[in-house]
Amino acid sequence: MKRVGILALVLCACFVSAAWAQRQALRPHIGKQHSIHHRALKSFPKANGASGNSSVAARAAARQGKVWELGTPGGTWASMGDVNDFGVAVAQGELPDGSTHNFAVPLFGSRAGEWIDLGTLGGTESGWDEGLITISDTGLIVGHSASTDQDRPHAIAWTEKSGMVDLGTLDDVGYPTYNSSYAAGVNKMGTLIVGWSGVEQSCLGCAPSLPVVWTPTVVWKNGQLVTKWNIHKLDTAGLGVITKWYPWAVNDFGQIVGEGSGDNGEIVGVIWTPLRNGKWKLTPLPAVADYPSSEPFNINDRGEVSGNIEPADGSVWLPAFWKPLDPSRKTYSDPIMLPMPDGGFANCYTDGINELGDLTGECWGDGGDQAVRWTTKDITFSQVLGFPADWSWSFRVNNN
């Protein structure tokens, strides 16, 4: 789905963490299947009508630091998905002809602010699933693009040297109906890619999908060494009720977080732990009785997991994180709830999490839709980040 007239706002959060010194915590009022799917789609018309937020957002932005206004790559909208520790941001955006491509945008240096078109796999567009593009600290970018296979989305990896590479689907390794794929996350070292492979287009929530990880091998091709990515189905044992799987992120220790959903509305947050035999073990993340559903969206190298928790009916989203309880990371805490910021917000989720425990995400309600930050170091703290516009989201945060 395309959006018209979106101001390309960037919350790449390239603030120095020291500048994020905590002030007096705000008093709390008390998923994106990724917010980017049903939450943002519902909020778009409402957010445009939130006329009272722009001056508040502008004042907040002025207090906090620089906002990079990057415009668009020539069309009417762009949506940033991630930024690495070297200040390279990645996005999906529209070209003047109306097609959707993946892009990189350096924030510093001689090419600062330049939209770098990553191309496509030969299909008509890369698709619209905002936030589903990420970048490692090595410059490896992962996402998805429409292929020449009836414009089905295929997961992609891109580097400046290789250009765009088709990561394939589970159809390639013996699952014939799983003929589309999405790459949703890559670790900072650029050594693991995670996502899912689905039936037909497998748009989020509309068709069965299976969780996958891609691992690299180095092979000779045309007289030079190149990286070949191999797809593997992740473990789903013990959760037979789940038919749709969405691994969102992976850290440098090989831990993978994501969620699964069932046809009757079940949602379960999970973590896959790497084993010595090259496989991964599936474990549900702890849940609490009043909020049995959870959506973990990201994990840092300390093993802390960001996301949200929900009651069984999904009527409210509450920001939360989980932390490991032992050095081997075999056990995790119950979800630790984070506060709603002041301003009439009823729902939140956390998405970005860095190694310092900075969290970013989105809240919505009577206060409109706004990017928000929290910290694992003070679970009473929350703050609307603010933009010189009516509404904003935040997906990721880097270590700076």
Residue 173, classed as helix, strand or coil, is helix
Burial of 157 (0-12, 13-18, 19+ CB in 10 A): buried
98 in a structural domain: yes
- Report the alpha-carbon distance of residue 309 to residue 146 in Å, rounded: 32
Q: Which residue has the tokens 């090989």?
A: 254
> Is the distance from CB of 274 to CB of 329 less than 8 angstroms?
no
**Helix count and strand count (H, E) for the chain:** 2, 24
pLDDT tier for residue 54 given thresholds of 50, 70 and 90: very low
Burial 111-121 (b: 16+ CB within 10 A, else e): eeeebbebebb
Please tell me the predicted confidence (pLDDT) of residue 52. 34
Pairwise pLDDT comparison (368 vs 363), residue with the higher score: 363
Alpha helix (H) residue ranges in the chain = 38-48, 54-64
Specify if 68 maps to a domain.
no
Alpha-carbon distance 255 to 241, whole Å? 23
The residue behind tokens 């009651």 is: 311
pLDDT of residue 367: 75
CB 361 within 8 A of CB 381: no
Residue 245 lies in a domain: no
User: 167 near 183, Cβ under 8 Å?
Assistant: yes
- Residue 290 pLDDT greater than 90, yes or no: yes
259 located within any domain:
no
3-state SS assignment for residue 40: helix
Tell me, yes or no, whether 260 lies in a domain. Answer: no
For the chain, what is the mean pLDDT? 83
- Give the pLDDT band (50/70/90) at residue 1: very low
pLDDT for the residue numbered 202? 59
| Angle, CA 191 vertex, CA 189 and CA 193 arms, to 5° | 110
Residue 131 lies in a domain: yes
* pLDDT of amino acid 56: 37
pLDDT tens-digit series, residues 210-255: 999 999 998 888 788 889 999 999 999 999 889 999 999 999 999 9
pLDDT tens readout for residues 55-83:
333 334 434 567 878 999 999 999 999 99
Q: Could you tell me if 118 and 25 are in contact, meaning their C-beta atoms sit under 8 angstroms apart?
A: no
DSSP 17: G
pLDDT at 318 over 90: yes
Residue 167 reports pLDDT greater than 80: yes
- Can you give the residue range of the structural domain that contains 133? 77-234
Asked whether the beta carbons of 352 and 397 are under 8 A apart, the reply is yes
Q: How many domains does the chain have?
A: 1
Whether 396 maps to a domain, the answer reads no
Cα 11 to chain centroid, rounded: 13
Residues 33-47 have pLDDT tens digits of 444 333 333 332 222
Closest CA to 262 of 33, 32, 1: 33
C-alpha 194/C-alpha 206 separation (Å) is 20
Q: Note the pLDDT of residue 220.
A: 85
Are the C-beta atoms of 181 and 212 separated by less than 8 Å? yes
**Left, alpha or beta for 307 (phi > 0: left; psi -120 to 50: alpha)?**
left
Lowest-confidence pick of 123-127, 276-280, 365-369: 123-127
Residue 198 lies in a domain: yes
